[in-house]
Amino acid sequence: MDTSSQNRTGTYRTAREGFAFVLDRSNVEKLKAIPEFEGREEPAIADDFLRSRAEAWVDVLSSAGAEPGEIFVEIDPHQKKARLAKATRILITADI
């Protein structure tokens, strides 16, 4: 099941197969600074970004043996990468 939501603080989350991918306000702003995403408005930019990548991220994380749970998405606009972390440990770095 795929679910998406936003709370009052501007944090977005998408859940899939036990993994909940979380994108906070500061990382939404970083995402909007990447040329491919410039001009896109919230909440569409965050929801589309998370939903379009969640399935691939679940496959990679599951293959790597990661336990389901809350996964924080940190955007690196210079390298065009998304770092997926659980607690303080980076699990994978994925191309945007």
DSSP state letters, 1-69: -EEEEE-TTS-EEEEETTEEEEE-HHHHHHHHTSGGGTTPPTTHHHHHHHHHHHHHHHHHHHHTTPPSE
pLDDT band at 39 (very low <50, low <70, confident <90, very high): confident
pLDDT of 2 over the 60 cut: no
pLDDT tens digits, 56-85: 999 999 999 999 999 999 999 999 999 999
What does the pLDDT look like over 11-37, one tens digit per residue? 999 999 999 999 999 999 999 999 999
Q: Let me know if 49 is exposed, middle or buried by CB neighbors in 10 A (0-12, 13-18, 19+).
A: buried
pTM here is 0.85
Q: Where are the domains of the chain?
A: 2-95
Average pLDDT, the chain: 90
